[in-house]
A and B are shown apart, each in its own frame.
Chain A
Amino acid sequence: MTAVEAQAVGKRYGRTWALRDCTLAVPSGRVVALVGPNGAGKSTLLNMAVGLTTPTTGRLTVLDGTEPGSSTALDGIAFVAQDTPLYPNLSVADTLRLVANLSNRWDEANARQRLADLDIPLGRRVGKLSGGQHAQVALAVALARHPEFLILDEPVARLDPLARHDFMAVLMAAVADEGLSVLLSSHVVAELERVCDYLVVLSRGQVQVAGDVDELVATHRVLTGPAGELDAVASAFDVVHAHSAERQAIALVRITRPVPTPAGWRLDETNLEELVLSYLRAPRASALPGPLGERRAMSA
């Protein structure tokens, strides 16, 4: 069961490749974080998944092999685009009516209940809402379509911390209630730890890391010790990224089998943010499942 499957997908705009040779299988029923620096190709990948962009090379399918943009795909996928575009001159009620008129399984009561819970007035023009309310309307409208798969492109990037928290809370409650698949792109990593259970790191148009969050955290450790011994110690480990500050060296390492801790060194657990940042600092390292993992050896 895959929500999105990309096979050697590339997208070229003029002379630059936004995505290149991107192969990826996003499982369904998960909350997937798509992480990467600005310009990594996140939006391009998401726009392809909702049928707004077509790949230059390769093939991308959604919902177990469905063509993006087909009526099945459009019906099953709700998309909250970057900056949550809505019509600013429409009232909230007319925005609901507009989506209702485009939907096959619209749940008006659901949308109204969500907006009532957030105290968002139906009569107000969307352009007059606060940033947080605006994003909430976009989310409510997407959820009231009862999608199988919800795709969000940097939904909280422009929100203040409180609005960000509220948005994520609504999203998580909906995921818990309805069990839908979610693919969420962000460059704010800290926000994702509580929320996501699958991670995809995109860097320079390619997939760098893909895997279950718990598994990734379990197979990575932070190695700390004297800077002078780094090279000697590192050779025994699969180092993702290492740096030295004064006399101390810190390295994120990947552990696929039990390894003894070197004398005078510490091996600590890591977290999602540290893991993502280490990979982003070392664009040549990668952690990929299945046969894709073989590429690691080549690029390491």
Chain B
Amino acid sequence: MTIAAAGTGWTLPRVRGLTWITWRQHRMALLGAVAVLGGFSVFMLVHGMAMHRDYHRLGLGSCGSFTTDACQNALGSFQHRYQSVTDFLPVPLAFVPALIGAFVGAPIVARELESGTFRFAWTQATDRVRWTVVKLTVLTVVLAGLALAFSALYGWWFHPWEPILGRIQSGKAYEVEGVVFAARTVFAFALGALLGAVLRRTLVAMAVTLAVWIGVVLSSAIYLRPHIMAPVVAQLSKGGFIRNGWTLSSWMQDASGHHLSSGEQDALGRQAGTAAANAADQRAAYDQWFVQHGYTNWTKYQPNSRFWHFQLVEGVAYLVLTLLLGAATVWWVRRRAA
């Protein structure tokens, strides 16, 4: 059953069977996904080249942990120029997986049910279980590939910031780099496919997919992610901080280990201020007062070196959810849909 291509259409991939059908029916949705990611990619390429050039021009590549004054100044000017974009960009990008997944996933079964074409598609010689399995598999693989490629580009774009900000901070590069972005894209896709099959309306399924995805992703990022590994607890020098880790909390405690409230800290600050008022070096005396009275500063954080561990745990979790949703979709199409 070799079929010559129709005169007018352009037939890029020479594929057959359900793979061809998947491409033919969903190429517009896929091109939409490519357009969204492509738009951001073009921006990142243009912006990233300038940013990388300035990073090297300022000599930040050889600054280590930015201890010297020259490095501090260079860092200041680099941050002044580029940090606002760096802080902002992950915010919209974090939601792109939901949009792509809902846009590609929701119509797969819903549109067939909505328009009645399932009576045509599912009564051909190929049964609807295979129809569903192949469509879900092919589109999952394609979307995962697109998302991974985009994450790799983001990784390149963000690279200068790794020693400065780290990659593990929640709500920042972590959401777009590595494998989490792709895993969330296929999760949204599978969620959209299942909801489309169950709700039988494409638009409703898209909206519900977005809502559920946001609920799952936000609550997992806020409530579950900090528990992937027990955080590191470390004592800080006064005024110190962990530059590129993900700080979960920091506090001051007294000699008995009691965590001080901010009210208590303010009161202590006034006491230390009074004590240090007549000292030659007021700053040193102020800090010294806390040391003398047994007060210490602590932080609880996830170090940047755990980036891949976190990414893999979270990525695998979303992938497992994706497989479960896919299996549920196939079951639903087989038993309930028509």
Contacts and interface: CB of A to CB of B under 8 A. Distances in A.
Interface of A: 47, 50-53, 69, 71, 74-75, 77-79, 81-83, 85-88, 90-91, 93-94, 96-106, 108, 122-123, 138, 145
A298 B267 CA distance: 98
A185 to B, nearest CB: 13
A83 B127 contact: no
Contacts of A94: 6, 9, 24
Contacts of B21: 98, 101-102
A105 B124 CA distance: 11
Contacts of A97: 3, 6, 20, 24
Contacts of A75: 125
Interface of B is mostly: loop
Interface in B1-57: 1, 3, 6-9, 16-18, 20-21, 24-25
B120 interface: yes
A90 B27 CA distance: 12
B194 to A, nearest CB: 20
Interface in B86-136: 115-127, 131
B324 interface: no
Given A94-B6, A122-B6, A102 B20 contact: no
A79 B117 contact: no
Contact of A77 (B25, B118, B119, B123): B123
A52 B338 contact: yes
A100 B25 contact: no
Contact of B123 (A79, A101, A108): A79
A116 to B, nearest CB: 14
A145 B126 CA distance: 12
Return the 3 tightest CB-CB contacts between A and B, nearest first.
A93-B6, A81-B119, A102-B124
A50 B125 CA distance: 11
Interface residues on B, range: 20 to 34
B8 A123 contact: yes
22 contacts: A50-B123, A51-B123, A52-B123, A71-B125, A74-B123, A77-B123, A78-B123, A79-B119, A79-B120, A85-B116, A85-B120, A87-B25, A87-B117, A91-B8, A93-B7, A94-B24, A101-B17, A102-B21, A102-B126, A123-B7, A123-B8, A145-B125
Contacts of A69: 127
Contacts of B24: 90, 94, 97-98
Given A71-B127, A91-B6, A94-B9, A100 B119 contact: no
Nearest to A105: B125
Contact of A85 (B6, B7, B117): B117
Nearest to B119: A81
Interface of B: 1, 3, 6-9, 16-18, 20-21, 24-25, 115-127, 131, 338
- Tell me whether chain A's interface is mostly helix, strand or loop, or mixed: loop
Nearest to A81: B119
A156 to B, nearest CB: 17
Contact of B125 (A82, A83, A85, A103): A103
Contacts of A101: 1, 3, 16-18, 20-21
A252 to B, nearest CB: 36
A19 to B, nearest CB: 16
Contact of A99 (B116, B118, B124): B124
B124 A52 contact: no
B123 A81 contact: yes
Given A91-B6, A93-B6, A101-B20, A83 B124 contact: no
Tell which of B9, B18, B116, B125 has the most Cβ of chain A within 10 Å: B125
Nearest to A72: B125
Contacts of A71: 125, 127
Contacts of A86: 117, 120
A74 B119 CA distance: 12
A53 B18 CA distance: 23
A102 B120 contact: no
A102 B117 contact: no
Contacts of A52: 118-119, 122-123, 338
A102 B124 CA distance: 6
Contacts of B9: 91, 93-94
Contacts of A104: 125
Contact of A74 (B6, B16, B120, B125): B125
A82 B116 CA distance: 9
B113 to A, nearest CB: 11
Contacts of A102: 17-18, 21, 121, 124-126, 131
Contacts of A108: 1, 3
A78 B123 CA distance: 7
Given A85-B116, A93-B6, A97-B20, 13 more contacts: A52-B122, A69-B127, A78-B123, A83-B116, A85-B115, A91-B6, A94-B9, A98-B24, A103-B126, A122-B6, A122-B7, A123-B7, A145-B124
